[in-house]
């Protein structure tokens, strides 16, 4: 019981209200020995509430048990944002662009790091403060990073094809 109390103190669970019967357990006895309690609950934390936009808990009919089963229904929040990222060809004119792209491609294969996010962070680290301020406006979501990675790969393929290197 002390461990459970410690757990509830440290994680601050939030009780989700339940629709249906008030008490979820009975002792099955009759008369003055009859007891019913609310033993079963659904708890969650704030992260769960932020993640789900619909949460409901209902009691079901009990069958061969002294407990009413609980049914929890939830729906994950599906938030999509439109990307405002636009690949700038001028970035390829930076003297470290090719080396950074190759380094990022290797890192991306090993650690699943987005090529574009890595590339921009490296350029920002090497650029002047004014350039860093400019590049800070283009930090990418994962979707935009994949799009820019494809655009950069297409650019390098077209450049190499134009030179006859492919």
Q: Which two tokens stand for residue 118?
A: 């890595």
Q: Are 114 and 145 in contact (CB under 8 A)?
A: yes
Q: Note the helical H segments in 21-81.
A: 46-51
Exposure string of 79-110, with b = 16+ CB inside 10 Å and e = fewer, is: eeeeeebebeeebeebeebeebbeebbebbee
Residue 139's pLDDT is what?
46
Going through 4-103 in order, the beta strands assigned E by DSSP cover 14-15, 18-19, 25-26, 36-37, 43-44, 52-59, 70-76
Calculate the CA dihedral of residues 97, 103, 105, 108 and round it to 10 degrees.
Answer: -130
Residue 47's pLDDT is what?
82
Residue 46's pLDDT is what?
84
For the chain, how long is the longest CA-to-CA vector?
Answer: 94
Q: Which of the 8 DSSP states describes residue 42?
A: -
pLDDT tens sequence for the chain (166 residues): 788 778 778 888 888 889 999 988 888 888 999 999 988 888 888 888 888 877 889 999 888 888 888 898 888 777 666 767 777 788 888 888 888 878 877 776 655 545 556 666 666 666 656 555 555 554 444 445 666 667 777 766 776 666 665 4
d(CA 106, CA 146): 15
Residue 9's pLDDT is what?
80
The end-to-end CA distance of the chain, in Å, is 69
């Amino acid at each position: 019981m002390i461990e459970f109390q410690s757990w509830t103190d440290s994680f601050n669970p939030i009780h989700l209200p339940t629709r249906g019967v008030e008490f979820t357990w009975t002792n099955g006895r009759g008369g003055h020995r009859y007891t019913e309690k609310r033993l079963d609950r659904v708890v969650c934390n704030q992260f769960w509430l932020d993640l789900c936009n619909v949460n409901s808990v209902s009691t079901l009919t009990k069958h061969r048990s002294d407990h009413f089963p609980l049914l929890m229904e939830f729906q994950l929040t599906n938030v999509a944002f439109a990307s405002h990222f636009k690949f700038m060809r001028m970035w390829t004119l930076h003297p470290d662009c090719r080396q950074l792209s190759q380094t990022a491609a290797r890192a991306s294969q090993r650690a699943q790091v987005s090529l574009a996010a890595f590339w921009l962070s490296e350029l920002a680290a090497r650029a002047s403060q004014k350039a860093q301020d400019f590049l800070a406006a283009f930090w990418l979501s994962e979707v935009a990073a994949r799009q820019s990675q494809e655009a950069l790969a297409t650019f390098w393929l077209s450049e190499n094809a134009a030179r006859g290197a492919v």
